[in-house]
Structure 1
């Protein structure tokens, strides 16, 4: 079985220009990011005849999938980016600190850890269904943090796994068993 993971194309949303950004401004930026269009891109699908494509149901992933795959695309919320953890602080920080803080809080915040456990269960169910489907070449268009979790699970299941710290936009990562 071969699974191709692709992170959506780059989003047309610039980081805030202000030096310091409030909690609400950071959260608003992430909400706008979820609704923003993507930049054009190209993806080399490796000459593989992909039998089916699954995509996150978020706009940036759907549009990427439509650009790279000509067949039927199944959209699912299971492939959505991992939700942001709740923030209960009211301070101003440089925007990149917010990005780091939110990423770290997925491991330190109790509610965020529960979301991560649910995410891992969803990934396992999805992969179980995919394996049971009998399809041999499946393309998945999703999001960076979720792809990192997929990589861990696919590796655990015996797939040969490409190395990446954080996946590049529009790049195909092939996992084979």
Structure 2
């Protein structure tokens, strides 16, 4: 079985270099609504039996460019929220600090983040337990941080592929493996899917 993972196109949402926590939060909200910058995705002639996609607009727009069939939209594939790790009123920090420290806060289970590391892992597991494993090739279009964590769960299930350290926009990453055995009842999960 072959699984292809694609991060959505780059989002056209510029930011200031220095921000307060509120400015970072506002930028994050704008990012959710911003348009993408389309580019050609090298799919290496691959044919896909099915395509799952996050329900966020930037992922759906990307999926429509790389897959011509029906899309299976699923909110389990949404990006992990990255909230300000501290509250500042006047103190400004570089954008990169807000971004990186938010992810570190998630990793170290800080209450500043809306989703815990365990919740992210369970969300990925729930998705993997309900997809159609009878397909030979599955394409998944979603988000960078989610993709980074998703590959780890695939490898736990015996899939092999390039180890992705820095997830690029609009790039196909492929993983090969046997159909894994679901750890939950597939019928129960399928009823909850958003398609």
Aligned residue for 1:175, secondary structure, equals strand
Aligned residue for 2:24, secondary structure, equals helix
Cα distance change, pair 171–28 in 1 and its aligned pair in 2 (3 A): same
1:123 aligns with 2:124: yes
Cα distance change, pair 110–99 in 1 and its aligned pair in 2 (3 A): closer
CA apart distance, 1:151: 0.5
CA–CA separation in structure 2 for the residues paired with 1:166 and 1:87:
22
| Aligned pair partner of 1:37 in 35, 38, 41 | 35
CA–CA separation in structure 1 for the residues paired with 2:33 and 2:82:
15
CA apart distance, 1:82: 0.5
What does residue 66 of structure 1 align with?
A: 64
CA–CA separation in structure 2 for the residues paired with 1:159 and 1:133:
13
What does residue 102 of structure 1 align with?
A: 102
Instruction: Identify, as 1 or 2, the structure richer in helix.
Output: 1
Note if contact 1:41-1:170 (Cα within 8 Å) is conserved in structure 2.
yes
Q: Aligned-pair RMSD on alpha carbons?
A: 1.7
CA–CA separation in structure 1 for the residues paired with 2:76 and 2:176:
21
What does residue 166 of structure 2 align with?
A: 166
What does residue 154 of structure 2 align with?
A: 154
Higher relative contact order (CA 8 A, sep 6+): 1
C-alpha deviations, 1:83-140, integer Å up to 9, x for none?
224644213211111111111111224434952211211211211222x541110100
What does residue 81 of structure 2 align with?
A: 83
Gaps of 5+ in 1: none
What does residue 184 of structure 2 align with?
A: none
Cα distance change, pair 110–93 in 1 and its aligned pair in 2 (3 A): closer
What does residue 23 of structure 1 align with?
A: 21
Equivalent residues, number? 174
CA apart distance, 1:49: 1.5
